A and B are shown apart, each in its own frame.
Chain A
Amino acid sequence: MDLMPQTADSSNRSDPSSERSTLASIRRLHPYVRTALPRLIGGLVASLGASLMALSIPAVLRWVTDGPLTQGARDHDWSGLIWSVVLVAVLGAGEAGLILLRRTLVMFPGTRVEAGMRMALFRHLQDLPVAFHDRWPGGQLLSRIMGDLGLLRRWLVFGVLQLVVSFVTIVVGVGLLVATGGWLGIIFLCGSIPVTILAFRFSSKYRKISRLSQDQSGDLATTVEESVHGIRVLKAFGRGPDALDQFTDQAEGLRETELRKATTDAGLTTALRVIPEVTQGIALVVGTYLVASGDMTLGTLVAFFATAQVINGPVVDLGMTLSMTLNARTAVDRFFEVTDTVNPLTDPATPADVPAVTPGQAAQAGGHVAFRDVTFRYDDAARPVLDHVDLELPPGTTTALVGLTGSGKSTLAMLPPRLFDVTEGVVEVDGVDVRDMTRAQVRERVAVAFEDPTLFSASVRDNVLLGVSDTLPGAEREALLTQALEIAQAQFVAGLPDGVDTRIGEEGMSLSGGQRQRLALARAIAARPRVLVLDDPLSALDVTTEEAVTARLRDVLVATTTLVIAHRPSTVALADRVAVLQGGRITAVGTHHDLLASDPHYRYIISSLEDDYEAHEHEHEHDREHGPDERDKQNEGALS
């Protein structure tokens, strides 16, 4: 897997796209912009036309007053005036019309391209595996899909046109000056050299700051997100003020970056104002001298300054459009950084030919799951979590997976539904390597109830029926819902204000832990999978409820192959057999009673009988003497 590590610390984030030129970066937009190009070009033409008309109106006014009107006043001829009025009116309406046209032409491409790119990014993010999402903070992704794409939209609608129009006006204007202005034109051209150099130096400097600023915004969004998700902890410890301090530091960092950006921008603005104006000041002195000496006509001097005035505006605007363009470029880079991430967990080119399953339709028989010599190592970890694991889950059996906290039980549970892929070895469902099936095929067969019950702010119904096919008839869906809620002992739902249609808050935060867990359990049951993976599904339930759920679950699980992660005997009671996970390997498989008799490690994990307590106390003495690292060994020794 090659997933870019992302930390909250922006400084050590590398910028792999820094080598690319701005043009090359922006050219990558081509597939997204292609269909919008004709409209964009149309908008550009309209924009240039409007600029031309705006420029021509003063000239026409001067011509009208000097020509037809002066003439007409002499001859008392009114037709000249009428024609002039009509002409100016046509030009004026034309300018407004062209601007209207430009606006109308570019607003669709701008917003559509943004929406298209947003969907592409979203689709890619949904496709990327859980491992990617574990590493990329939500705020960073959010700032890319909202902030960056918004920047890009504004650039497509305003920036790119303005950039081209300014550029064309400047090039044409300078060309005119050089062609007609003689020495003055050459002076002006000299002035444009430092401007060009400065603009380039500005670009490379500004780009870096712009990147930093956009990354920092993302980190800030992450902090905000966490401060809300973790608000209970912050409140419970009264750490609101500390969180505020930390947030302030981060916001302060962003502010400083923004100020640095503004300082760079200010430098360019000053240069873009001062250099052309100073050049024109020199041209003024030289020109006046040339006119006085008779080497230049007054008309040429006046024409030079009239044209120079026209260029000044776009030159000053250039600073703004340039920074806008550079920000857009950073946005493009940050966008592609995510979409370029290769998905290591993909569907096979030719999926195995397995019979279709309709989720929600009761499976006749459970699936057969086998872990064959499975090794799993997280990308950035030195040691594998699972080390050559062999385990069979025969159809229709319920196996409890038991092991100490952190022994890799949950990791193992993520393998059958392909939320992670094995590093080595094979996981088979019904004799087929899960990697030979599409993710959809696998996940139709395998349903999971996570230890963290992830609920969505939707109705109870939608949350529970999450894994049930939408194509099932309504009555069947209702039946599944009712039954799943009943099995999970989630009758509390009936007492909610709108029953199963009650919307539950963000991540189900408004429900208690036990209520959330029962909904998550109901969700896994409702999917009616061939294989059910339950990650410590009863941990937050009280004894009575747990008993009731266990009794009902055992009925339901008769046909379903189930892997249940268990921390305590009451959960193990669900299972026909127990597998013990220790040191990344399955060290024992057997019934609860057999293992209790034969396996000291199992006894240590699961038992809470008084003798074991005493053995434990004894081991605790050793703890103090020999240090906790020996705890396990000591304990096993004491028990066996």
Chain B
Amino acid sequence: MKTKFYLLTLILSLLTILSCEETFDPYGKFEEKYVLNCIVRADTNYQVALVSKSYISENLDPYSNTEDKSVQNILVRLWNGNDNVAILKDTIVERSSDDKYNSPYRIYYAENFQPIPGLPLEIEAVLPDGRVLSSATSVPAPINFLDTSSDTLIPPSKGDYIQVVWNSPQTKPVFILRLGIYYFKYEGGSKKRYIYFVPQNYVEHEGKFVPNYPKPITQSRFSFDMKTIDKAMELISAGESDKSKFEILSCIIEVIALDENLSIYYNTTANANNAFSVKLDEKDYSNIKGGYGIFGAYNRNYYVLRFKHDYIRSFGYIPGLTE
């Protein structure tokens, strides 16, 4: 009996030991790396760069790190062509209250640096220890909207969609776009301006219309179905009985043209896994020499479409601009 008891105790002890979770350290040897991010906008002369460094998280969860890793005392320079150089100043930016970091973050900025489309751009960040991060790109040329091929009025005189066509001098362009309906709403005796962004289509789910916004494209044209625009017009005043509080102004299509570096970077960062696949290692794209991050440029272009007044009135709204 005693032997059986000891044997059972031994087996149970063994099973308990075996079932224990072995400690596991996923870390290799930590090496400090630096990161430079700068996306130059061609539609403004205010440019921003961020410089930070890599870190390690004690509890293996990188999101538990609340210390901002921005690096101070960096000499950041931007070249536009060959002769226009800007030395970026640094400043502190307060974070929103729901940000995971406790401290504000540091940005480097230039207030009067207007990039010239088509010309090369260079950046260089000299670190306190003398190491240099650098990169080069060029600003995409502005796109030209083709009035003859594009619609100008909503709804169009023929067809059940509106189409906007442009051309771009870029060889491998990627465009990101959005369509906004600009309108006023009368609230408490004054009118406030709002924008309703029109999706590519709506998917009905459990009685609600879930918007599906346009994805980046390489084609130099885009069309919106009139049914989607109709639905967007309806949803502007969803829940409001008094439709006359809404004064509809116009539709504006914004088209952002990315440079090649930014296109690639966007592709790698947005490359989503599906909900069930488990992917362990992935490629990290960077065009920064000496570190990580991205140096790219884009420009933003606008195209205005006007509404026909009858169309606006059919929803009970008031036209805000001339046809």
Q: Do A and B bind each other?
A: no
On B, residues with C-beta under 8 Å from A are none
